[in-house]
Amino acid sequence: MNCGARSSSLLGSFCDHSLEEVNSMKTCAYYKKNQPLFVEGSLQRGVYCLNQGKVKVFTRGDEGKEQIIHIAKEGEIIGFRAMFSGEPYKVSATTLEESNICFIAKEDFLNMIDTNPALRNGIMQELSKELGDRAVFITNMAQKSVRERLAFSLLILGDIYGAEEINLTREDLANFVGTATETLIRLLKDFKDEEMIEIHTRKIEIINKQKLLHLAGK
């Protein structure tokens, strides 16, 4: 078996077995941990469908420090944003763990969109939603303290990792929150002392979601 990912979203169904049309044009592959799918500045050849695993989507600041914009999980399509802009990638994507990922060539993908209005609407909806999410993200970055942002980030990661424990290096977590690694480590200890999380070496378990929600200002 290769492509077993499901999602309730319009877009998610795209990668589904049921679409024979898709099945015939995609090539699936195994990716190991820390393997790049594509790199900022390069030209796009197609889109990636994440069947199994996690992928970080990030940009690099002037000093090369990563800012993680999004962490994709099973069922997500990665890299379709650059498909319509006509520009090179503005972000990079790299696996965070062993993953199973299918690739669909640009022309095949665009062709499908032209002939499939439901898919097209799903894409437009997704683009719009993300645009709204990023406006909120920007506001959080600009106005919240690092402590509040960490609470907020842990909640997002909690949703992404679901039943599993959050499993990221301290550096990746810092690059998601937008802070220095040392600051992040200190705050994680505070959160542990305040009994919001438990730390199992590098894995993080949320034990008081309510308290995190309150801290994040929701």
Partner DNA sequence: TTTTAAAGATGATTAATATCATTTTTTAAA
Partner DNA sequence: TTTAAAAAATGATATTAATCATCTTTAAAA
**Residues near DNA (CB under 7 A):** 145-147, 169-171, 178-180, 182-183, 185-186, 188-189, 199, 201-202
Rounded to an integer, what distance in angstroms lies between the CA atom of residue 38 and that of residue 138? Answer: 24
Counting contacts by CB under 8 A, is residue 178 touching a copy of itself?
yes
Residue 43 contact among a copy of itself, DNA, none, beta carbon within 5 to 8 Å by kind: none
Q: Which is nearer to DNA, 90 or 189 (CB)?
A: 189
41: tokens are 């500045």
Residues 31-90 touching a copy of itself, rule: CB under 8 A, are 59-63, 65, 67, 69, 81-87, 90
Q: In what order do the strands lie in the sheet with 197-200?
A: 166-167, 203-206, 197-200
Residue 121 contact among a copy of itself, DNA, none, beta carbon within 5 to 8 Å by kind: a copy of itself
Rounded to an integer, what distance in angstroms lies between the CA atom of residue 63 and that of residue 84? Answer: 29
Residue 201 contact among DNA, a copy of itself, none, beta carbon within 5 to 8 Å by kind: DNA
To the nearest 10°, the Cα dihedral for 61, 64, 67, 68? Answer: 140
